Amino acid sequence: MSQIHVTTRLNGDETEFLCDAQETLLDVLRNRLGLTGAKEGCGTGDCGACSVTVDGRLVCSCLMLGAEAVGREIETVENMADGETLHPLQRKFLEHAALQCGICTPGILVAAKSLLEQNPSPTEEEARYWLAGNLCRCTGYDKIIRAVMDAAEEMRRAS
């Protein structure tokens, strides 16, 4: 089986990899590039644990082929913090205890960041609908929504 050679921009760096034609972007990130921050909760686009952005758009990396990454800008949770400085969402998730087990956290952070980029002042309802594609079984979402709203406010004040 011949593999496909892909060149892409991953977390700001030009990155090359080989992958099989049927391999998902999630599998490429996790198994070939060592970025295990994105998780596989379902593999069918129903849980959001594998969320990444592609050219700034939020996608489930389990629903995209690795080969489709050619020439794109991929951002994963590993690139959210700026060196030692956490992104406000990451900090607020810790302060609000918005994670219990933490398996959903990378996907929810990526999705929430994407929300705030498009809509810096979401209402609680907007935040809840935006995150409806990200399952969390531990928290009941209460503290997640509080953390997102609080981060949004802080980011608005800072800008």
Partner 1 sequence: MALDKNAPETRSFKVVGSRPLRPDGIDKVTGRARFGADMSAPGMLIGHILRSPHAHARIRAIDTSKAEALAGVKAVVTRADFAAAPEGMEDVLDNCMAGEKALYDGHAVAAIAATSAAIARQAAKLIEVDYEVLPHVTDVDAAMAPGAPALHDGRSDETVPDGYSANVMSRVEYGHGDIEAGLAKADRVLERSYKTAATHQGYIEPHACLATMGPDGQADLWCCTQGHYMVRNTCAALLGMDQGQLRVTASEIGGGFGGKTTVFIEPVALALARKAGRPVKIVMDRTEVLRATGPTASSSIDVRIGMTKDGRITAADAELRYQGGAYPGSPVGMGSMSAFAPYDLENVRTIGYDVVTNRPKQAAYRAPGAPMAAFAVESAIDELAKGFGLDPLDVRLKNAAREGTRSSYGPTFPAIGLEATLRAAKDHPHWSAPLGPNQGRGVACGFWFNFGGDTCVTLNVTPDGTVTVTEGNPDIGGSRASMSMMAAEELGIPYEKVRTVIADTGALGQNEVTDGSRVTFAVGLATIEAARAAKREMCARVAKIWGIDEEAVIWEDGAAKPAGPNAGDYPPMTLAEIAAIASNTGGPIAGHHEVNAEGAGVSFATHIADTEVDPDTGATRIVRYTVIQDAGKAVHPAYVEGQFQGGAVQGIGWALNEEYIYGADGILQNPGFLDYRIPVASDLPMIDTVILEIPNPGHPYGVRGVGETSIVPPLAAVANSVSAATGVRMTDLPMSPPKVLAAVQGQQEG
136 binds ligand FES (CB under 6 A): yes
Across 70-84, b (16+ Cβ under 10 Å) vs e yields eebebbbbbbbeeee
104 binds ligand FES (CB under 6 A): yes
Decide which of ligand FES, partner 1, none touches 20; Cβ closer than 5 to 8 Å per partner kind.
Answer: partner 1
99 binds ligand FES (CB under 6 A): yes
Strand duo 4-10 + 51-54: pairing: unpaired
103 binds ligand FES (CB under 6 A): yes
Report the C-alpha dihedral over residues 134, 135, 139, 142, rounded to 10 degrees: 50
CA distance 150 to 129: 17
The residues of the shown chain that bind partner 1, judged by CB under 8 A, are 20, 22, 30-31, 35-44, 46-47, 49, 76-78, 80-81, 86, 90, 93-97, 99-106, 109, 125, 127-129, 131-146
Please name the amino acid found at residue 95. E
Taking the least distance from each CB to ligand FES, the nearer of 109 and 116 is 109
46 binds ligand FES (CB under 6 A): yes
Decide which of partner 1, ligand FES, none touches 60; Cβ closer than 5 to 8 Å per partner kind.
Answer: ligand FES
Across 132-147, b (16+ Cβ under 10 Å) vs e yields ebbbbeebebebbbbb
CA distance 128 to 145: 7
Residue ranges in contact with ligand FES by CB under 6 A: 40-43, 45-50, 60, 62, 99-104, 136-139
